[in-house]
Amino acid sequence: MSGQRIAATSALTAVAPAVWGSTYLVTTEFLPPGTPLLASTLRALPAGLILLLVTRMPPRGIWWWRAAVLGVLNIGAFFYLLFLAAYHLPGGVAALVMSIQPMVVLLLGALLLKARIRSSHVGACVLAAGGVATLVLQPHAGLDATGVLAGLLAALSMASGIVLTKKWGRPDGVSLLAFTGWQLTVGGLVLLPITLVGEGLPDHITWRNVGGFTYLGIVGALIAYVLWFRGLSKLPALAASFLSFASPLCATVLGYLFLDQSLSPLQLLGAVAVVGAVVMAQPRKRRRTPAQEPAARGAGRIADGSPPPTPVTAPPAGPTTLPDTPLPRP
């Protein structure tokens, strides 16, 4: 991809974690208290069923169990752990705990994708974690053991889902909407019986709660995950993982705008550090040397389906000899 296309793809993919950053605000302000399982189920299952009804394309063959694994890692387990962390920790602290995700992706990518770990990647991870800490940690921020453990497990779950999604890809002939619908449906179906048995339903639901659930299901799941899986198919796993830092940035901005949370110059410096780390981790189009240009153009023609250029051979060196056949007489 060209540099402009890479930047556009990264920006569009970053919309998904930015939307997920609003989860902390919606959870605390719009949803019934103490219902992380219900919130997770209603976020995933309706959106997944809508996509399945639209596409009418179920998994086939090996993709039955692959869709189940990805649905649990990317949706079911991740949603529940995310909401659990949001209920037990301030939004910024939960985002800080989950900032280990790119580091996990870096290690898993080296093991499963044979990706090379570069010093710039490690530096970006350290810079991003420091920026998130500066951005979200406040003197009054409390740490809860359950919330911290849930956040760490959520980061591990999503990191594993990112790497496996990149490793397996998307089956031929399957649309992005169907691929997203598989995972949302699996995640919701896994959570549904656990929700009914372990948590139950709230005594009453307000229209405010309905609005919160609708936002999380349509915007936070259906739209956001379509954009996310599209980005995963086009970007390296680590680059996509770093885009998840749009989540704490969005959470901090929303807290400042709607929850009367402070935003100090030090926090702004942390935000700049996070953005810098994301930029460091994004892929760049490498410049070719003049000697590489002909080969690159030939490879491009082959990739596009056109024949490679015909090589031009130099004439033989030395004097040109005439054939032995005698010339016709006049």
Q: Looking at per-residue confidence, does 300 or 251 come out higher? A: 251
Give the per-residue pLDDT at 1: 65
Rounded distance between C-alpha atoms, residue 216 and residue 211, angstroms: 9
pLDDT tens digits along 82-128: 778 877 776 567 767 777 888 889 889 988 988 888 888 888 888 88
At residue 278 the predicted structure's pLDDT band, cuts being 50, 70 and 90, is confident
To the nearest whole number, what is the mean pLDDT of the chain?
Answer: 82
Rounded distance between C-alpha atoms, residue 9 and residue 166, angstroms: 16
Query: What element of type H or E holds 110?
Result: helix 101-112
pLDDT tens digits along 238-268: 888 889 888 878 887 888 888 777 777 877 8
Q: What is 72-94 written as a DSSP string?
A: IIIIIHHHHHHHHHHHHS-HHHH
Closest CA to 221 of 187, 262, 244, 261: 187
At residue 299 the predicted structure's pLDDT band, cuts being 50, 70 and 90, is very low
Angstrom CA distances, 137 to 255, 267, 268, 289, stand at 13, 9, 12, 46
Q: Is the pTM of this model over 0.75?
A: yes
At residue 316 the predicted structure's pLDDT band, cuts being 50, 70 and 90, is low
